Amino acid sequence: MARVLIVSSHMVDVRMAGSGIRCWEIACALSRHADVTLATPRATMLADPQIQLVAYDGRGTVIRECLASADVVLVQGYVLQTFPFLKNVSQPLVVDLYDPFLFENFEAHRFRRAAHRQVIHARDLVVVLEQLRRGDFFVCSNERQRDYWLGMLAAAGRIGHCDGREVGLRDLVDVVPFGLPEISPSHTRQVLKGVVPGIGEGDRVIVWGGGIWAWLDPLVLVRAMTTVAAAYPEARLFFMGKEHPDPSLASSNLSLYSQAVDLARKLGLLGRSVFFNDRWVEYDERQNYLLEADIGVSCHQRSIETRYAQRTRLLDYVWCELPIVTSSGDTWSEFVEAHGLGKVAPVGDADALAAALNSMLDEPDLKAAHRPRFRAIRSLLTWERAIYPLVRFIASDR
Partner 1 sequence: MHRDGRGSILVITDPGHNRQHHRGLFAGQRLAHLSKVLSRSFALAFATPEGLEFSIDDGVRDSEAARSVAPDAGFGGAVDAVFVDGRVLRQVPSLIAVTAPIVVDLYDPLIADDPSQWPGPIDPAARAAERETMIREQLLVGDFFLCANEAQRDYWLGMLTVYGRVNPLVYADDKTLGNLLAVVPWGIERWLSEADSCSLADLPLGIREGDMVVAWALDDLPWLDPVTLVHAVADLVQSTVALKILFLVSPRSDWTRTGIVAAAKNASDLRQLTDRHAFFINCATGDLNRYLRQADLGISLQKDCFAARFAVRPEIEAYVGAGLPVLATPNNAQVISRFPLGWVVSESTVEQVVRSLREFLAAPDLRKALDDKAQKAASELSWEVTSLPLVRWCELPRRAPDRPAGSKHDLPRVTIDPTLPSFWAMPGRALYYLKVGGVAGLAAEMRSYLRGKLPELRR
Which lies closer to partner 1 via its Cβ, residue 378 or residue 392?
Answer: 392
Question: Angle 371-29-178 (CA atoms, 0-180°, nearest 5)?
Answer: 55
Q: Does 254 bind partner 1 (CB under 8 A)?
A: no
Which lies closer to partner 1 via its Cβ, residue 102 or residue 381?
Answer: 102
Specify the pairing of strand 204-208 against strand 51-55: unpaired
How far is Cα 386 from Cα 364, in angstroms, rounded to an integer?
A: 35
Among 2, 62, 102, 377, binds partner 1 (CB under 8 A): 102
Among 2, 249, 304, 391, binds partner 1 (CB under 8 A): 304
CA atoms within 13 A on the CB side of 52: 14
Q: Does 109 bind partner 1 (CB under 8 A)?
A: yes
Backbone φ and ψ of 286, nearest 5°:
-60, -35
Q: Does 157 bind partner 1 (CB under 8 A)?
A: yes
Q: Classify residue 229 by its DSSP letter.
A: H
Q: To the nearest whole angstrom, how small is the minimum distance from the Cβ of residue 127 to partner 1?
A: 10
Q: Does 163 bind partner 1 (CB under 8 A)?
A: yes
Query: Which residues have a Cβ under 8 Å from the Cβ of 96 and sit 6 or more positions away?
Result: 22, 26, 74, 75, 76, 138, 139, 140, 176
Q: Does 122 bind partner 1 (CB under 8 A)?
A: yes
> CB of 159 within 8 A of CB of 182?
no
How far is Cα 16 from Cα 243, in angstroms, rounded to an integer?
A: 11
Q: Does 14 bind partner 1 (CB under 8 A)?
A: no
Among 58, 197, 202, 364, binds partner 1 (CB under 8 A): 58
Q: To the nearest whole angstrom, how small is the minimum distance from the Cβ of residue 179 to partner 1?
A: 23
Report 76-95 residues binding partner 1 (CB under 8 A): 81, 84, 87
Q: To the nearest whole angstrom, how small is the minimum distance from the Cβ of residue 162 to partner 1?
A: 5
Rg (CA), the chain: 21
Interface ranges with partner 1 (CB under 8 A): 58, 81, 84, 87, 102, 106-107, 109-110, 112-123, 125-126, 128-130, 133, 144-145, 147-157, 159-169, 301-304, 307-308
